[in-house]
Amino acid sequence: MERTPCIVLFRQDLRTTDNPALYHAAKSQRPVLPLYIYDEVTAGPWAMGGASKVWLHYSLKQLQERLAALNLPLHIVKGPTRETLDRLIQKTGCKDLYLNQCYEPFWQNEELKLKQDLTKSGVSLHSYNGSLLFEPDALKPKTAPFYKVFTPFYNSCIKILEKRPLFKEPASAISYALSPSLKVEELALLPRHPDWSSGIVAAWRQGQQEAHALLRHFLDRSLLNYSHGRDYPGESAPSKLSPYLHFGEISPMEILNALDERMQKVTTEEKLSIGKQADHFLREICWREFSYHILHHFPDLPEQPYVKKFDKMPWSQNSEHLKAWQRGVTGFPIVDAGMRELWHTGYMHNRVRMIVGSFLIKDLLIDWREGEKWFWDTLVDADLASNAFNWQWVAGCGFDAAPYFRIFNPTTQGEKFDAEGTYVRQWVPEIANLPNQWIHKPQEAPERVLREAGIILGKTYPYPLVDHAAARVKALSLLKTISE
């Protein structure tokens, strides 16, 4: 029997089902060495943020457990990916490396170099797409090198989108144990002094099993109200699958197949209404695909505005304003609720992400890259493509972006999308006793109402950091200046 192992490198594909690299390695009849390398070097400035590390800790534990049940012990090491792989390949005599591609520019560069190294040393690289419905360069318009607008991209996606059979979890792989492996704890991914992770730990359970449970719950309970509900942060309409998708605990193809199965079960009367909701959900999944398409063709996306005139924007350097935004003490309840939800759970509702983003960029006039960095550190779904794409979208300097002159009014956004104040009351408890009429504008509430609600403005809850109307005028005038 063949004794040299093949290595399966896990990165953003922390699952055993529909995992093409694992599936093909197991089929090769060689002993399989599942490997996770904790690499703080290759990503440079985009090394994993704090909340992602917390997620990774628990996710690796789940993967380890799942692989152990398949008699495939996960080997964990720490170090730069290429050097570490080189060392392990030499140590084990491995001749085949299996991996699912990562599409971040730094991983793409790394994979190119890896391929060259492996060819020189006679090792075959087997690489697959395990995280997207389409490779980022698979779809091309007829008259341009790539799609810059979402709708034609989406139309071309759905024209050729087909479900495919999922890659089965290997039932009978031959294991290869290499000792010593690091324990997950030895990666020191959890914060210690202070430990701020309790909110994240309470809000989520990581792993592929949980991802599938969440998906089933979403399809059975929330899909019917998805289109409407996804705009209202007080309702639990969205799937919350984003961190599982980012870490690859579920694949988009698994989601597509489950959605299709759900559609098979609907009655004729339900078909039309639920069909529309399913289309909308699929459209959102395709926004994720579009972000990767854009990142592939414009790798500077995380650092450089696509619309060049934004280079000239005289961004504010007010660090007190930035701090107030990060801590959720701006005096605008919907903004503060969002920023506190983010800090506490590592997640923020999409509508609120747009509101807090617009507030940072257009009310505080702070560079979108500051927001992008903060989200990178605090989101459990922090994803280079989706985060950069959406920050540029909100700022108005990206692809198919919201125009810069469309400036959200945080008060009316709150009144429209959180009319009962459910969301604000949950995250900004110090103003919870205000009647609905004033919950999004405590600064306008009569003295008596504030007193009865136990609020002293400037003491128990801040006055608004800026005057929105004046900030709007200033933002528009700056836009005019950079456009001249």
Smallest gap from residue 120 Cβ to ligand FAD (A): 36
Smallest gap from residue 255 Cβ to ligand FAD (A): 8
Catalytic residue chosen out of the listed positions 284, 318, 409, 436? 284
- Rank residues 77 and 245 by Cβ distance to ligand FAD and give the closer one: 245
Smallest gap from residue 354 Cβ to ligand FAD (A): 5
Smallest gap from residue 217 Cβ to ligand FAD (A): 12
User: Distance between CA atoms of 378 and 345, rounded to whole angstroms?
Assistant: 9
CB 181 within 8 A of CB 74: yes
Catalytic residue chosen out of the listed positions 129, 225, 350, 436? 350
Annotation says 393 is catalytic: no
Question: If you write DSSP's letter for every residue of 188-250 in order, what string do you get?
Answer: --S--SS---HHHHHH---SHHHHHHHHHHIIIIIGGGHHHHTT-TTS--S---HHHHHTTSS
Annotation says 370 is catalytic: no
User: Distance between CA atoms of 22 and 10, rounded to whole angstroms?
Assistant: 9
Percent helix / strand / coil, the chain, rounded to 5: 55, 5, 40
The encoded tokens of residue 186 equal 């030895």
- Rank residues 401 and 431 by Cβ distance to ligand FAD and give the closer one: 401
User: Distance between CA atoms of 32 and 34, rounded to whole angstroms?
Assistant: 6
- Rank residues 398 and 442 by Cβ distance to ligand FAD and give the closer one: 398
φ/ψ region of 421 (left if φ > 0, alpha if ψ in -120 to 50, else beta) reads left
Smallest gap from residue 32 Cβ to ligand FAD (A): 29
Helical spans, DSSP H, in 248-383:
252-265, 268-297, 319-327, 333-345, 350-358, 368-378
Catalytic residue chosen out of the listed positions 287, 318, 430, 436? 287
- Rank residues 123 and 285 by Cβ distance to ligand FAD and give the closer one: 285
- Rank residues 156 and 291 by Cβ distance to ligand FAD and give the closer one: 291
Q: How many CA atoms lie within 13 A of 204 on its CB side?
A: 31
Asked whether residue 382 is marked as a ligand-binding residue, the answer is yes
User: Distance between CA atoms of 39 and 85, rounded to whole angstroms?
Assistant: 11
The encoded tokens of residue 361 equal 């960029």
- Rank residues 169 and 383 by Cβ distance to ligand FAD and give the closer one: 383
Helical spans, DSSP H, in 16-80:
20-27, 50-69
The encoded tokens of residue 102 equal 């990562």
Burial of 337 (0-12, 13-18, 19+ CB in 10 A): buried
Binding site for ligand FAD (CB under 6 A): 230, 238-242, 245-246, 284-285, 287-288, 291, 350, 353-354, 357, 375, 379, 381-383, 386-387, 390-391, 394
Asked whether residue 402 is marked as a ligand-binding residue, the answer is no
Catalytic residue chosen out of the listed positions 129, 210, 225, 315? 315
Catalytic residue chosen out of the listed positions 55, 204, 343, 368? 368
Smallest gap from residue 262 Cβ to ligand FAD (A): 14
User: Distance between CA atoms of 386 and 287, rounded to whole angstroms?
Assistant: 8
Asked whether residue 292 is marked as a ligand-binding residue, the answer is no
User: Distance between CA atoms of 233 and 254, rounded to whole angstroms?
Assistant: 26
CB 249 within 8 A of CB 206: yes
Annotation says 204 is catalytic: no
Asked whether residue 39 is marked as a ligand-binding residue, the answer is no
Catalytic residue chosen out of the listed positions 55, 391, 393, 438? 391
Which among 189, 245, 195, 172 has a CA at the least distance from the CA of 215? 245
Asked whether residue 383 is marked as a ligand-binding residue, the answer is yes
- Rank residues 64 and 101 by Cβ distance to ligand FAD and give the closer one: 101
Smallest gap from residue 278 Cβ to ligand FAD (A): 12
Smallest gap from residue 70 Cβ to ligand FAD (A): 27
Question: What CA dihedral angle connects 47, 48, 49 and 53, to 10 degrees?
Answer: -150
Annotation says 374 is catalytic: no
Annotation says 46 is catalytic: no
With CB atoms as reference, the residue minimizing the distance to ligand FAD is: 238
Residue whose pair of structure tokens reads 């699952």 in the numeric block: 15
- Rank residues 249 and 383 by Cβ distance to ligand FAD and give the closer one: 383
> Which residues does the annotation place in the binding site?
226, 281, 381-383
Binding site for FAD, residues? 226, 281, 381-383
Active site residues: 284, 287, 315, 350, 368, 391
